[in-house]
Amino acid sequence: MESVEKPKVRVVGEEKVKLKKSFVKPWLGIKYLFKKPVTIKIPFEKIEPAPKYRGFHTLDWKKCVGCNFCGQICPARAIEMTWIEVDGKMEKRPHPKVDYGRCTFCQFCVDVCPTGALGFSENYYLAAGGLEEELELFNWVPIHPDKVREINEKFGDYRFPVVKIEKKADGTYVYHLRDGDKIEFKILGYGLRPPKKPTPAKPAEKTEAEKKEGESS
Partner 1 sequence: MDMNEKPKVEEKAQEAPQLPETREGKLVAEMLEKAPYAEGSVRRERRVEFKVPADRIKEFLELASEKFEMLMQISVVDWIKEGEFELVYQLWSVGETTHAFVRTRVPRENAKLPTVMDIWPVAETYEREAHEFFGIVFEGNPRLGPFILEPREYEKHPLRKDFNTLAYAKTIYGEDFDRYDESKTNYVI
Query: Residue 187 in 3-state DSSP?
Result: strand
Contact between 66 and 165 (Cβ < 8 Å): no
> What letter would DSSP give residue 125?
B
How is residue 20 annotated by DSSP?
Answer: P
Backbone angles phi, psi at 163, to 5 degrees: -95, -30
- Nearest distance, CB of residue 106 and ligand SF4, angstroms: 4
Which of 179, 176, 129 has the alpha carbon at shortest distance from 154? 179
Least separation in angstroms between residue 57's CB and ligand SF4 is: 7
Q: Which does 207 bind (CB under 5 to 8 A by kind): ligand SF4, partner 1, none?
A: none
At position 186, the amino acid (one-letter code) is K
136 contacts partner 1 (rule: CB under 8 A): yes
In 4-141, at which residue ranges do the beta strands (DSSP E only) sit? Answer: 57-59, 79-86, 89-90, 95-99, 118-120, 139-140
Nearer to ligand SF4, 72 or 207 (CB): 72
Of partner 1, ligand SF4, none, which one sits near residue 64, judging by CB under 5 to 8 A according to partner kind? ligand SF4
Closer of 96 and 158 to partner 1 (Cβ): 96
In the complex, the smallest distance separating the C-beta of residue 201 from partner 1, rounded to whole angstroms, is 19
Rounded Cα–Cα distance for residues 131 and 135 (Å): 6
Would you count residue 122 as binding partner 1 (CB under 8 A)? no
**What are the two backbone dihedrals, phi and then psi, of residue 176, each rounded to the nearest 5 degrees?**
-90, 110
Binding site for ligand SF4 (CB under 6 A): 59, 64-70, 73-76, 78-79, 96, 98, 103-109, 112-113, 115, 117-118
> Which partner, ligand SF4, partner 1, none, binds residue 151 by CB below 5 to 8 Å per kind?
none
Binding site for partner 1 (CB under 8 A): 1, 3-7, 68, 71-72, 77-78, 80, 82, 97, 99, 101-102, 135-136, 139, 187, 190, 192
